[in-house]
Amino acid sequence: MVRLTSLSNSAQNTRVDLVQMFEPVRADLEAVEREFERQVQSNVGVIPEIGKYVQKSGGKRVRPAVLLMAARLCGYVGPRAILNAAVVEFIHTATLVHDDIIDNAELRRGQKAVHSRWGNDVTVLAGDFLYIKSMAMALTQDTLDVVRLLCDVTLRMIEGELYQLTKNGVVDISEDEHFEIIRRKTAYLFGGCAQIGGMLGEAGDVRERELREYGFNLGVMFQLVDDLLDFTGTSEATGKPMGGDLREGKITLPIIHLLEHGGAEANSLIRNVVNERDVSEEHWARIQTLLVEHRSIEYAYARAVEFGESAKRHLKMFPDSPERDALMGLADYVLYRDR
């Protein structure tokens, strides 16, 4: 696995266990798990079966945790935080279920993707159920502000998926276009999670905005690191084959940088993988070498660090608390995650 030495000092010195980091909201996260299981129940047996399968697949629940900690940071503890955290987990799960079909991904977190086990027809409808169920849950609240935000975030995510599909297999995608995909597919939901916490705590417009920007920057960073793991991680850790993104025709930031600086050899290798939708071990090893030689991995990590530092700056107006410390530490954890 590629290691870098040019990381920020705060990230370099922080290796906090995720369970320890989420300790301030541990009981709430357990309540979210129970709420997810309760809400996914249906007389159609395959729906709770799929729900349980996805729920037990080992997700980190980062998005619900961000919402819960942001709410506590703003002084709110109560059932609405639990409900909304379950809602965002429903939305996130729906996107994963649909994305795996679109990407034709066989594995998700080391186990068979839902469509690999139940087929595309059932999986599409299960994803639809999760989306609609999330909005039905949100509508049980006494305010529509959160529902409007959730609808806006979900629409942006779907737009991001559609936009990415139009760029699938396009080798010459620009960095700006790539970041637009990241913003829509990932960052807006993270931002929405943090903002909802502020809304529940009636934090006011300024603090809501700062929380939204924290979550948004954290989300961009999360996706940049996720993309990097395609080149620096291991199949055992990530639960998916290495080079999967490139073989699926997805051009991410390290490859964009390499295409700009790696010359004819890099250009030829990358276009061949995208065209063939496959790569030999020899060619994959060469691509990884070129990524290091031209500092493309380092460049992408540096951009991830930038967004992580920006995320933390947006928390500085909040007083010290275990929740603030956890949200700060989460940015460092994301940078170092290996799965």
Two structure tokens written together for 176: 């700006």
If one counts every other C-beta atom within 10 angstroms of the C-beta of residue 265, the result is: 11
Confirm whether 252 is domain-assigned.
yes
Spatial contact of 229 and 215, defined as CB atoms under 8 Å apart: no
Return the DSSP state at 337: -
Confirm whether 2 is domain-assigned.
no
Q: What residue has token string 């595309």?
A: 120
Residue with the bigger pLDDT between 181 and 142: it is 181
Helix or strand holding residue 77 (H, E): none
CA separation for the pair 216, 186 (Å, rounded) = 8
Spatial contact of 153 and 67, defined as CB atoms under 8 Å apart: no
- In this prediction the pTM is 0.92
For residue 213, what pLDDT is reported?
Answer: 98
Give the domain extent around 150. Answer: 10-336
Confirm whether 45 is domain-assigned.
yes
Task: Tell me how many domains the chain contains.
Answer: 1
Here the CATH number for the domain that contains residue 147 is: 1.10.600.10
Assign 12 to helix, strand or coil: helix
Confirm whether 4 is domain-assigned.
no
* pLDDT higher than threshold 70 for residue 66: yes
Confirm whether 5 is domain-assigned.
no
Confirm whether 119 is domain-assigned.
yes
Spatial contact of 47 and 175, defined as CB atoms under 8 Å apart: no
For residue 155, what pLDDT is reported?
Answer: 96
For the chain, the 3-state helix, strand and coil shares in percent, each to the nearest 5, are: 75, 0, 25
Confirm whether 68 is domain-assigned.
yes
Confirm whether 1 is domain-assigned.
no
Give pLDDT tens digits for 71-109: 999 999 999 999 999 999 999 999 989 988 888 778 777
Q: What's the pLDDT band for 5 if we cut at 50, 70, 90?
A: very low
Which residues, listed in sequence order, are joined to residue 108 by a DSSP beta bridge?
A: 111
Spatial contact of 97 and 73, defined as CB atoms under 8 Å apart: no
